[in-house]
Structure 1
Amino acid sequence: MTDETPSQQPEQQPEQQPEQQPEQQPGQQPGQRPEQKAPDVPTPMPAPKKPRTPNLALRRLRTGFKPSRGQAIVAIVLALVGCVAVVQVRVNRADDGYQNARREDLIAILDGLGQNTRRLESEIADLEERKNSLSSSADKAQTARDQAEAQIRTLGILAGTLPAVGQGVRITLNDPQGKMTSSNLLDAIEELRDAGAEAIQINGSVRVVASTDFVDDPPGIKIDGQKVTSPYVIEAIGESHNLAEAANFPGGLVSEVTGPQVGGTAEVNELDSVSITALHAPDEHRYARPAPSPTK
């Protein structure tokens, strides 16, 4: 008996599926593996900032430089004290000229001030008398005309449009070296005005008024455009003694002219009668007009 061996059939291998290739990305070379993306890592949260603590030293420094109300008051008081001190020093300097003056000079100054006071009091009394006469006069129109004419004469003398005569002084200044300036002459005029001069002329040809100007023009000085030269003769009407004392006051006109700065000579004569004939031609006012009288 024949053993029949069953024939063994070869085992069928399972069909191998082709390995699936990953999808090729655009721009990727064949056979090149795609880049693997790194896994997303969560972004760590920033640590909270610690709150800044104020610098104690800096705060104290700022507080020290910030003025308090008390410090501001003290600063204002010190500023006022400083201003008062400066004013006092200036006053003391201004008084040095009087402190060094002689007794006779101080008496002359007081006499001049007293005379000016009496003159002003006399003018006040005169105005009061005019007021009363206008109130009681039967012919008020004529009285007003007379007073207006008197006022015109007075103003004409002050304005230099009318001649004047009266007691006063004649001051002759010689300047052989030609060093006298317009400032010297202007100082002389101011000193005479302060002493009560009512009318002044120079070299018999120039009337000095409020608008007179002095300009250096060597050798000489121009006064209102008219040149005058040495000797300079100043004639002034007023209380003769006071005018002479003002010219001879230490540090005044005579001292300035005879000193080394000018090196000239000065002669002051008191006169019972001084005649001033030079007249001033006033310019026409372009802008100023008389203001209307206030109505009562």
Structure 2
Amino acid sequence: MSDDTPTGRPTGSEPPSEARTTPPGTARNRLLFPVLAGVLIVLLGIAIATQVRSTGTGDALDSARPADLLVLLDNLNRREAALRQEVNTLERTLDSLRTNGSDAALAEANSRLQNLSIQLGTVAATGPGVVLTLADPHHGIGAEIVLDTIQELRAAGADTMQIAGADGTAVRIGVDSWVTGVGGNITVDDRELTAPYTVTAIGDGPTLAAALNIPGGVVDTVSRAGGTLTIEQFAQVDVPALREIEPRQYSQPGN
């Protein structure tokens, strides 16, 4: 009669000679491996859960070190200063081209100046894009979620954008824009806005919409906060809000 014992040898028979001669340390190692593997799996699960929670809350600027915030602010100020300097350089180039330059060079300089002015927010803009409506009935959409929305649109290729509150007051978003406040009432560049918020962004509509709809992205974040995000794509949207560029206190454009 055959034996169905999983070990593949008759019940009651002695183990092979190599099993009898296995050093005690090796046997203990074999017992420890599954235990260590289990501990590592548990630790890995905790780490993943912690990372997910951290990612879900966005970039908590409130918990960042003052030194890190100063570095971030300095980088933004440097970026805006570089754009301003390039605009001034182009304006001087345009003056020269109008006097003795070619039409092609003048057109190219005008185009570059227009693009940079749009980035700085000093001129109105129009083009294809999206209009977002962030409804916040439970006052759960705070500054972090609004900032995540702006950053996601930038990363997806938005050329420029503005955000408006319930009363229609619109703020043009620039390279150094900042957002603070709690759900239902935020402040963007010193201007208080109340929900619902309307964000108008110029760029490729399908790309911008897809970026916001990725799993775990802005749409999901807004939903978890008790709000709703409606995305509409248009062949043309207008961004008329302008930024007031403060005069330089110390620096001047270089040659």
TM normalised by structure 2 equals: 0.57
1:186 aligns with 2:147: yes
- Bigger share in strand: 2
Q: 1:285 aligns with which of 248, 251, 254?
A: 248
Give runs of aligned pairs for residues 1-296 of structure 1, distance below 5 A. Answer: 141-143=101-103, 144-203=105-164, 205-216=170-181, 219-259=184-224, 262-292=225-255
The residue type paired with residue 239 of structure 2 is I
1:10 aligns with none
What's the RMSD between the two structures over aligned residues?
2.5
How many Å separate the matches in 1 of 2:157 and 2:142?
24
How many Å separate the matches in 1 of 2:100 and 2:176?
36
How many Å separate the matches in 1 of 2:176 and 2:188?
11
Q: State the Cα distance separating 1:266 from its structure 2 match.
A: 1.2
Q: Sequence identity, in percent?
A: 34
Shift in CA distance, 218/198, structure 1 to aligned 2, threshold 3 Å:
same
Contact 2:136/2:227 (CA < 8 Å) preserved in 1? yes
Contact 2:136/2:183 (CA < 8 Å) preserved in 1? no
How many Å separate the matches in 1 of 2:212 and 2:189?
23
The residue type paired with residue 172 of structure 2 is R
Contact 1:217/1:227 (CA < 8 Å) preserved in 2? no
* Partner SS state of residue 171, structure 1: strand
* Partner SS state of residue 267, structure 1: strand
The residue type paired with residue 207 of structure 1 is R
Q: State the Cα distance separating 1:217 from its structure 2 match.
A: 5.3
Contact 2:149/2:218 (CA < 8 Å) preserved in 1? yes
* Partner SS state of residue 154, structure 2: helix
How many Å separate the matches in 1 of 2:118 and 2:183?
31
Task: State the aligned residue count.
Answer: 158
Whose Rg is larger?
1
Q: What are structure 2's unaligned runs of at least 5 residues?
A: 1-46, 56-98
Q: Residues 75-108 of structure 1: CA distance to partner in whole angstroms, max 9, x if unpaired?
A: xxxxxxxxxxxxxx99xx89xx9xxxxxxxxxxx
How many Å separate the matches in 2 of 1:270 and 1:145?
34
TM normalised by structure 1 equals: 0.49
Q: State the Cα distance separating 1:152 from its structure 2 match.
A: 1.6
How many Å separate the matches in 2 of 1:217 and 1:162?
30
Q: What are structure 1's unaligned runs of at least 5 residues?
A: 1-88, 98-138
How many Å separate the matches in 2 of 1:218 and 1:287?
38
Q: State the Cα distance separating 1:291 from its structure 2 match.
A: 2.5
Q: State the Cα distance separating 1:218 from its structure 2 match.
A: 5.8
Q: Residues 162-193 of structure 1: CA distance to partner in whole angstroms, max 9, x if unpaired?
A: 11111111111100111211111111011011
Q: Residues 117-149 of structure 1: CA distance to partner in whole angstroms, max 9, x if unpaired?
A: xxxxxxxxxxxxxxxxxxxxxx96134433322
Q: State the Cα distance separating 1:279 from its structure 2 match.
A: 0.6
Q: State the Cα distance separating 1:289 from its structure 2 match.
A: 2.5
How many Å separate the matches in 1 of 2:183 and 2:214?
27
- Bigger share in helix: 2
* Partner SS state of residue 216, structure 2: coil
